[in-house]
Amino acid sequence: MNIGDKMPKFSLLGVDDKMYNNFDFADKYAVAIIFTCNHCPYSRSYWSRIVKLKQRYEEDNLAILCISSNDATEFPEDSFENMKTIARQVGIFPEYFFDSTQEIAKAFGAERTPEVYLFNSKRELVYKGAIDDSWDNENNVTHVYLEDAIEYALDGIEVDYPEIKADGCTIKWK
């Protein structure tokens, strides 16, 4: 996806066993979609930061949706049942979705976990890439790329740095 592209339509199973689509979040001022998974050390290191962002911007009407697209056959730790456990443990229940066909990851052009796609109120892509600049130590973060982009998106302002390369594990394709 390129900056300015419209958010692809999706329909995914949430960890609460309900189906969700992009229209379920139509009332949100902005939507952050984070491709992630259970087994990747990069992804695991970001869970607490994702939860903090979710709590911080909940009143601002931001949706943060996490999607796992990894091949759970080859990587059983990324199975839907394990996603349910992780979602409850880290506090992202029910906003963790399983892309079992990998069609959504392909539609977004996602390549890594974690990798963020932030959409404004018009559902135009305004930021994609990294959450911040220190995946392995939250205390060493000097640039909060996603947080800055969220602030800009919620204020209706163009994001200064709309693309920052995401570090992480590659999505495990079938």
Domain of 95: which CATH number?
3.40.30.10
Inside any domain, residue 126: yes
Q: Rounded distance, CA 73 to CA 127, Å?
A: 31
Q: What is the pLDDT of residues 7-66, one digit of tens each?
A: 999 999 999 999 999 999 999 999 999 999 999 999 999 999 999 999 999 999 999 999
Examine residue 6 and state whether it is found in any structural domain, yes or no. Answer: no
Domain contains 4: no
Q: For the chain, what is the domain count?
A: 1
Backbone angles phi, psi at 98, to 5 degrees: -105, 120
Residue at 2 is within a domain: no
**pTM for this prediction:** 0.97
Per-residue DSSP letter, 171 = P
Q: Establish if 101 belongs to a structural domain.
A: yes
User: Which of 121, 130, 164 lies closest to 36, judged by CA?
Assistant: 130
Averaged pLDDT for residues 140-147: 97
Specify if 64 maps to a domain. yes
The pLDDT value recorded for residue 156 is 94
Q: Does residue 7 fall inside a structural domain? A: no
The percentage of residues in the chain with a pLDDT greater than 70, rounded to a whole number, is: 100
Domain that includes residue 29, residue range: 13-170
* 79 inside domain: yes
Average pLDDT, the chain: 97
